Amino acid sequence: MASVSIVKQRLTIKCDTQEQMASLLGIIGTMKVDEGDPTLGRCRASVQNLQRIKRVVRGVKLSNDAPTKFAIQNMMAERDEIACSSRELLAAVKNEFPVVPYKFKVKPYKHQIFAFNAMHAGKNIAIFGDCGVGKTAIAAWFIESLYKLKELCARDNVLVICPINIITHAWMEDVEKFTGLKVVSLYEPSSYKRKEKIAARFKQKADIYITSFSQLRLREKELRNKKFKLIVVDESSKIKNARSRVFRSLLQVSWKAEWKFIMSGTPAPNGAIDLWSQFFFLDGGLTLEPSIVDFRNAHYMSWQMGGRIPIWSPKTGSAARVGKIIASRSITMRAKDCLDLPKRSRIARRVEQTAEERRIYEEMAQNLVVELDTGEMSTARIALSKIMKLREITGGFIMDDDGQPHQIGESSKMQALDGLVESIMESGEHKALIWIQYRWEADTALKMLKKKYGAAVFYGGLSQKVKDNSIKAFRTDPKARILICHPASIAHGITLNEAQYTIYYSLSHDYEHYYQSSRRNYRAGQDKPVFEYHLVTPATIDESLLICLQGKHNFEEEMTSRAINVRDLLGIR
């Protein structure tokens, strides 16, 4: 008779036949077969794995030993906790008024009250909201309400973790605007006496401490000693890599936290696997299994190309299945449902390559190597490098094997950009954001547009002071009409509604960067129609990247649509 026992988080299964064990190996990622007995196996103990075993091995019996009984009781209690939390969350968010006595400093929108109530109903939940729906205000109000309700007191510590560029421009400004809380930033951009400044800030008393993901890793010991009672991770997709040092540091820092929340507009830019670490931070694996290996094995299938590292692809219907699982721990807010935003028009501008650009592009695509007019060679040694080279060429340049950029002729796309910007600027006192992927593109566009339109750049490698000055000038100086940006540097949190026009000069496969960048000037407060241009070279990687980004968008939409949706609460059909 097949039997199951559990000892120290390990589940041991004795099957009747080897065929049963083979079936379990195919559906349980952590399952390992005993070398001496092919019908004996061990895997990570979880409710999900126990259910899989019961489906495969009919009539399997649970051991009567004390450790197994205790483990089963804990599993059932955890499952009941999730079910109870789901019911409480649903009941709370249906209320159009705050579920606790709290006076808002600034009148909230209806969807913000729903999310505020959700945070009070569930101590560990995910807030998935589009950029500009007011997630930082919701979190700030919630934190202040806990202080006023005496659930947090002066000796308790609250930590917010977010990208560097939104510490000041989003969190510190919003907390001051929407609440009366005192905030201290644990991030110091200046290298002058940085260690002493940060040490002094750790000693300051504050209602909220704010730090960056990089500081989380570097200051893990000091942050852990603070014993934070509440932790908010903003733009939580930054912890999507379960093997990263940042994620491991977060687990160490959050070990004493009673309240944990994640917030993101793009929680799963690369698929469902991105959600595992985020929800593990929230509840230690109650929602999406204790093991990422089991989670991946349940929702992905692997295949190999050339006998190398396996490639994992989502199984059919995995987005809907995962969406149903996380529904009990998440609430979704879409800008189109929550905000009265103006119309946004997306326009693709076809840019035909010159004969020289087409020759170089086709030669690189076919041979992975091309000889430049200067005699230098440019080589793509692997497929990923080939994709980068093709992106370079459509941008109007190419890097040689020594890392030096070479412009290809007159660069048809750069000329198209110049013409498009000129037509926009001549039509009125407009401002525009230009999104680029490479330093050469940014420097060339800056040289071309700075004198005429006061263009500035914002990308990695610039000092924080230069970046802040660029944003300030773009917001306040009517002569600063162009901001040239890299999505990785400015894609999160910052509002740039001064720009009515967005131009994508080049793209990458990163959906999170694309989505976040597109929301910089299409968020709460925008009162003018927005025009978004894509400069696309036909029959090239430009078109492939657009198709890839659309596919990722569709997958994420399906996955988060099953969470408690503000659209339904607002009665929108």
In contact, 199 and 223? CB cutoff 8 Å: no
Tens of pLDDT, residue by residue over 329-346, are: 899 888 888 888 899 999
Sequence-distant (≥ 6) Cβ neighbours of residue 41 within 8 angstroms: 12, 13, 15, 21, 24, 25, 31, 32, 33, 34
pLDDT per residue over 38-81, tens digit each? 999 999 999 899 999 999 998 899 998 998 999 888 888 877 77
Window from 9-23, 64-78, 154-168, 368-382 with minimum mean pLDDT = 368-382
pLDDT digits (tens, 9 = 90+) for 358-408: 998 988 888 765 555 555 555 555 666 777 888 999 999 988 888 888 899
- The CA-atom distances, in angstroms, between 150 and each of 144, 205, 261 are 10, 17, 19
How confident is the model over 209-268, as pLDDT tens digits?
999 998 998 899 999 999 999 999 999 999 999 999 999 999 999 988 999 999 998 898
Torsion of CA 544, 545, 547, 553, to 10 degrees: 160
Q: Which of 535, 541, 270 is nearest to 388 (CA)?
A: 541
The model's pLDDT over 182-211, given as tens digits with 9 standing for 90+, comes to 999 998 877 778 888 888 998 899 999 999
State residue 254's pLDDT score. Answer: 94
Specify burial of residue 255 (Cβ count, 10 A radius: 0-12, 13-18, 19+): exposed
- Which pLDDT score, from 0 to 100, does residue 337 have? 84
pLDDT at 165: 79
Residue count (the chain): 573
Q: What is the pLDDT of residue 188?
A: 82
Note the pLDDT of residue 156.
Answer: 85
Provide the pLDDT for residue 523.
Answer: 87
Helix intervals (H) in 3-134: 18-27, 47-56, 66-93, 110-121
pLDDT mean across residues, the chain:
88
| Measured distance CA(348)–CA(351) in Å, rounded | 9
| pLDDT band (50, 70, 90) for residue 121 | confident
Mean pLDDT of 171-183: 93
Rg of the chain in Å (alpha carbons): 26
CB-side exposure of 300: number of CA atoms within 13 Å? 19
Q: Is the pLDDT of residue 509 over 60?
A: yes
Residue 573 pLDDT > 50: no
Return the pLDDT at 543.
93
pLDDT at 318 over 80: yes
Nearest CA to 281 among 78, 126, 127?
Answer: 126
